[in-house]
Structure 1
Amino acid sequence: MSLPPLLTGVVPPVCTPLTPDLEVDTASLTRLVDHLVAGGVDGLFVLGSSSEAAYLPDGHRRRVVETVVAHVGGQLPVLAGAIDMTALRVLDHAHTARAAGADGIVVTAPFYTRTHPAEIVRHYRLVAERAQLPVLAYDLPVSVHSKLDARLVLALAAEGVLAGLKDSSGDEAGLRRVLMGRRALPGPPSFSVLTGSELTVDSAFAMGADGVVPGLGNVDPHGYVRLARLCRAGDWAGARTEQERLAALFRIVDEGDPARIGGSSSGLGAFKAALHLRGVIDCPVTAAPQLPLTEDEVKRIGKHLASAGLL
């Protein structure tokens, strides 16, 4: 299945289940994909932040994208994160994704290096030229330490370099600037704008966003699909109610003790613990060097699930 001209709806960043010895658990991964497809999602994004892409060696990354693309069998578009420090390294991941049959790639700005906006532009142009796949920009300043300026994004969209944007910047004003500027792009709509925020989906849709890429969508895909449908129908009161239910569920990411573990261990561990409690994956282990949640922390996550009607 090729990427549609305008990607819309709910496109969860698929968690990567691991075995206790930290190999990819392909049986759990395919069950997770089935869980998401049954939830009515509109696409899948593998090897993003919620997929623990930063922790996975290249062999694990390749197995994930090959497994998901083969299992989906063209039912839904599959985006693959091609996330690495600089363009030539990104292209290695892009070629792997294309060989596996992915429909598009998601690419951050360069990181580790101290980068100028002109170099970010060159980065995306080079990747788009050589990857032979649609490229979505991933605005993730908390991890790559540079913010994608709206004018830069829109200029690359006008050139046809970018097919879309996943905005995980937390900058609502910047998201609005992109959405307003997109209206001036020539031709029919072909540049997708997706929010990466689980907590402000209704606001993003109200501004004109096309969809959402919610990590929490692994745990409750039906909820995010309901939310997107309510927004599309203009039922803003219903959307607010559903958004607030999901915001309450999102508190699972804060159950890890910050004096003991990092934010990734807490957040990604919570998603996996919830999937394990829901019977979707066999093992909630996260990739090294993340630390596991305690038994008490997992119990509190279970209470959140029960309150949300998911246990």
Structure 2
Amino acid sequence: MTTASALTGVIPPVSTPLTPDLEVDTGSLARLVDHLLTGGVDALFVLGSTSEVAYLPDGHRKVVLETVVGHVAGQVPVLAGVIDTTALRVLDHARVAAGAGADGLVATAPFYTRTHPDEIAVHFRTIAARGGLPLYAYDLPVSVHSKLGTDLVLELAADGTLAGVKDSSGDEGGLRGVILGRRDRPEIDSFSVLTGSELTVDSALWMGADGVVPGLGNVDPHGYARLFRAAEQGNWVAARSEQERLLRLFQLVHVGAGRMGMSSSALGAFKAALHLRGIIDHPATALPQIPLNADEVARVKEYLATAGLL
């Protein structure tokens, strides 16, 4: 759900279906959006890590944005990843996102360049001032090599630069620090704190997080919606049970481990699962990722069957 104060709920980072020749499969993408909406999600995040944004050329990004925003037609908010190395490049993507009708922007700290926290602050303030849409910070140190410090996040929330943060840092103490800092500063109670750690969602919600951005939510949006609603109602036993079921299902991301990198294994497994469930036409991943083989796809199928998803 979306309240006047914050974006909340289940906000999956939408996978990007591709054709065998690696163009955007718009028909499959529209079906995936329908699958997510039917699953009870509260918003969509396109062009994030699970969307393979780092692998997609600008033309593909534009097709994804226009397809999703057009198909959603205002049913839920759509956040657009505008991830790139530095602020001026990010602003190019922001203009496309605004033109497509996105409801908000998601950006990481700058990367490739070595940056200081003051430069990271300039980066986000520049995007917020010129981007024309609410801006959400994506804390992803494993990819951008900068951790967004609690004080910096709260400072950017307080001055109106950031509408929220997606914390994929794995630093649960840091996440809690942001939640507590917001609680102590009523002027930023509209700041949205979202966890990207999809295996500890019940814990994050109990601490006071507003929602989750789960890659596995592509495969099982209903499960994450059930988890969130249980937590919202204070039924922590049900929330924990659903989280534990999703944790077991999440093991499918490791089917290619040892033969390929985690991106190839995890994103390939998500797409294999969506293909096996009849939601997308092809499980292709963008180059240079390595595709899953038949044995690995068979293991994904076993995880789906165990989870009751086939």
**8 Å CA contact 2:158, 2:188 repeated in 1:** no
Runs of 4+ aligned residues of structure 1 deviating over 3 Å after TM superposition are 2-5
Q: Please state how far the C-alpha of 1:8 moved relative to its aligned partner.
A: 0.3
Aligned residues: 309
Counterpart of 2:122 in structure 1 is: 122
Counterpart of 1:172 in structure 2 is: 172
> Which one-letter code corresponds to 2:293 in the other structure?
T
Counterpart of 1:214 in structure 2 is: 214
**8 Å CA contact 2:12, 2:212 repeated in 1:** yes
Is there any run of 5+ residues in structure 1 with no aligned partner, and where?
A: none
Deviation larger for 59-68 or 231-240: 231-240
Q: How does 1:72-221 map to 2 (within 5 A)?
A: 72-187=72-187, 189-221=189-221
> Which one-letter code corresponds to 1:207 in the other structure?
M
Q: How does 1:11-90 map to 2 (within 5 A)?
A: 11-90=11-90
Counterpart of 1:287 in structure 2 is: 286
**Separation in 1 of the partners of 2:236 and 2:251?**
23
Q: How does 1:254-265 map to 2 (within 5 A)?
A: 254-258=254-258, 260-265=259-264
> Which one-letter code corresponds to 1:288 in the other structure?
L
**8 Å CA contact 1:3, 1:104 repeated in 2:** no
**Separation in 1 of the partners of 2:70 and 2:3?**
16
**8 Å CA contact 2:158, 2:187 repeated in 1:** no
Counterpart of 2:302 in structure 1 is: 303
TM-score (norm 2): 0.98
**Separation in 2 of the partners of 1:185 and 1:275?**
42
Give the 3-state SS of the residue equivalent to 2:180 in structure 1.
helix
**Separation in 1 of the partners of 2:204 and 2:188?**
21
**8 Å CA contact 1:158, 1:186 repeated in 2:** no
**8 Å CA contact 1:3, 1:103 repeated in 2:** no
Deviation larger for 233-242 or 287-296: 233-242
**Separation in 2 of the partners of 1:119 and 1:3?**
32
> Which one-letter code corresponds to 2:267 in the other structure?
L
Is there any run of 5+ residues in structure 2 with no aligned partner, and where?
A: none
TM-score (norm 1): 0.98
**Separation in 2 of the partners of 1:76 and 1:56?**
24
Q: Please state how far the C-alpha of 1:3 moved relative to its aligned partner.
A: 8.9
**Separation in 2 of the partners of 1:171 and 1:188?**
21
Cα 1:4–1:20 change in 2 (3 A) is: farther
Percent identity reads 71
> Which one-letter code corresponds to 1:276 in the other structure?
H
